[in-house]
C-alpha cells in the first residue's frame, strides 16, 4: 500500500496540470496572433507607400495631361457616349436576362429536343467570342441581302434592317443570354444578375468596332481629332469605373432592401 501511494504521488508530480497547459497554449496563440498582425500591418504599410508613390508619379507626370482629362470628362460628346452606353446596357441586360431565364428553364424541362436546342444555343453563343459575333451580325447582309420571312412579295433590305446599333443589340443579347443561362442557374439569382449587369456594361465597349458612338467610340473619334490618346483613354476608364461602381451599388442596395423586406415579413 505504501509503494502504491508513493507511485501515485510521483505520477501526480510528473503530470502537468490541465490549467497550466491551457494557459501556455492560450499565451502561444495570442503571441502568434500578435506576430501575424504585425506582419500584416507591415505589408499594408509597404503597399500604402507604393500606392502613394504611384499616385504621386501619375499626378506629377506631365505626359498624362490631367487638365485635358478633367476637361474631357464633361465633354458633350463624351456625355452623349455615356448616355448611349447606359441605354445599350439596360436594353441588352433586359433581353439577355429574359433569354437566359427562358433557355435555363428549357434546358431543365425534361424534353430531350428542347433541352438539346437550349444546350446547343449555350454551346454556340457561349463559345464564340462576343466580338466575333458582333462582326458576324454587322455583316449579315453579305449572306442574306434580302430578308423575306418566307412571305411572297415581302423583301426587306438587310442593310437597312440590320443597322450597326441593331447588330450590336442582337449580338450582345444573344451572346450574353448564353452567359445568363449558365449564371442564373445558380442559387443566388440576384448576385448572378449583378454580375450579368456588370458584364453587359463592360461588353458594350466592344460595339465601338461597329462605328457606334458609345463611350469608347466617342473617345476613339476624339483621339483621331486631337491625338490625346492617353488622356482620352483615362477619361473612358474613369467613366466605365463610375458606371460599374454605380451598377454594383444598385445591386447591393437592392439586396439590402430584399433582406429587410424578408426580415419584416418574418
pLDDT in tens, 61-117: 777 788 898 999 999 999 999 999 999 999 999 999 999 999 988 888 888 899 999
Cell of 143: 449572306
DSSP state of 205: G
Please tell me the predicted confidence (pLDDT) of residue 254: 86
Query: Which residues, listed in sequence order, are joined to residue 264 by a DSSP beta bridge?
Result: none
CB contact at 8 A, 133 and 121: no
Could you give the CA distance from residue 2 to residue 149 in angstroms, rounded to a whole number? Answer: 109
How far apart CA 219 and CA 223 sit, in angstroms, is 6
- Taking only Cα atoms into account, the Rg of the chain, rounded to an integer number of angstroms, comes to 31
In the DSSP assignment, the letter for residue 17 is P
Alpha helix positions (H), the chain: 2-14, 18-59, 66-73, 76-107, 112-127, 130-138, 158-161, 164-183, 189-203, 215-226, 229-265
The predicted-structure confidence for 138-177, as pLDDT tens digits, reads as follows: 998 888 888 777 777 777 787 788 899 999 999 999 999 9
DSSP annotation of 227 reads: -
Q: Is the pLDDT of residue 223 over 80?
A: yes
Say what the pLDDT of residue 117 is.
93
Q: Note the pLDDT tens digit of each residue in 173-207.
A: 999 999 999 888 766 788 888 899 999 999 999 99
Mean pLDDT of the chain: 85
pLDDT of residue 15: 47
Cell numbers at 125, concatenated = 453563343
The length of the chain in residues reads: 266
Question: Does position 30 have pLDDT exceeding 60, yes or no?
Answer: yes
Which of 20-24, 129-133, 216-220 has the lowest average pLDDT?
20-24
* pLDDT at site 257: 83
Q: Could you give the CA distance from residue 115 to residue 50 in angstroms, rounded to a whole number?
A: 53
Dist CA 21 CA 18 (whole Å): 5
Residue range 32-62, pLDDT digits in tens:
677 778 888 899 999 999 999 888 887 777 7
Percent of residues, the chain, with pLDDT higher than 70? 86
- The pLDDT of residue 236 is 96
Residue 32 vs residues 36, 37, 147: alpha-carbon distances, Å = 6, 9, 73
Residue 6 confidence (pLDDT) above 50: no
Q: Is the pLDDT of residue 9 over 60?
A: no
Q: Does pLDDT of 8 surpass 50? A: no
Amino acid at each position: 500500500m505504501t509503494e502504491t501511494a508513493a507511485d501515485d504521488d510521483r505520477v501526480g508530480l510528473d503530470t502537468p496540470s490541465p490549467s497550466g497547459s491551457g494557459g501556455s497554449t492560450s499565451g502561444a496563440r495570442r503571441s502568434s496572433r500578435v506576430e501575424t498582425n504585425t506582419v500584416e500591418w507591415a505589408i499594408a504599410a509597404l503597399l500604402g507607400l507604393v500606392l502613394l508613390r504611384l499616385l504621386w508619379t501619375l499626378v506629377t507626370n506631365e505626359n498624362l495631361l490631367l487638365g485635358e482629362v478633367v476637361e474631357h470628362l464633361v465633354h458633350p460628346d463624351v456625355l452623349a457616349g455615356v448616355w448611349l452606353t447606359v441605354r445599350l446596357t439596360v436594353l441588352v441586360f433586359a433581353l439577355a436576362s429574359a433569354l437566359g431565364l427562358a433557355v435555363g428553364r428549357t434546358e431543365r424541362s425534361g424534353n430531350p429536343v428542347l433541352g438539346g436546342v437550349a444546350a446547343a444555343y449555350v454551346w454556340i453563343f457561349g463559345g464564340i467570342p462576343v466580338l466575333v459575333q458582333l462582326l458576324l451580325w454587322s455583316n449579315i447582309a453579305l449572306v442574306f441581302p434580302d430578308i423575306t420571312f418566307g412571305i411572297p412579295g415581302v423583301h426587306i433590305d438587310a442593310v437597312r434592317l440590320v443597322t450597326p446599333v441593331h447588330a450590336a443589340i442582337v449580338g450582345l443579347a444573344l451572346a450574353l443570354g448564353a452567359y445568363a443561362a449558365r449564371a442564373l442557374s445558380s442559387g443566388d439569382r440576384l448576385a448572378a444578375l449583378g454580375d450579368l449587369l456588370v458584364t453587359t456594361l463592360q461588353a458594350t465597349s466592344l460595339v465601338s468596332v461597329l462605328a457606334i458612338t458609345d463611350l469608347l467610340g466617342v473617345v476613339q473619334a476624339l483621339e483621331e481629332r486631337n491625338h490625346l490618346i492617353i488622356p482620352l483613354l483615362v477619361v473612358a476608364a474613369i467613366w466605365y469605373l463610375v458606371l460599374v461602381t454605380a451598377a454594383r451599388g444598385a445591386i447591393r442596395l437592392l439586396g439590402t432592401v430584399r433582406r429587410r423586406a424578408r426580415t419584416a415579413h418574418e
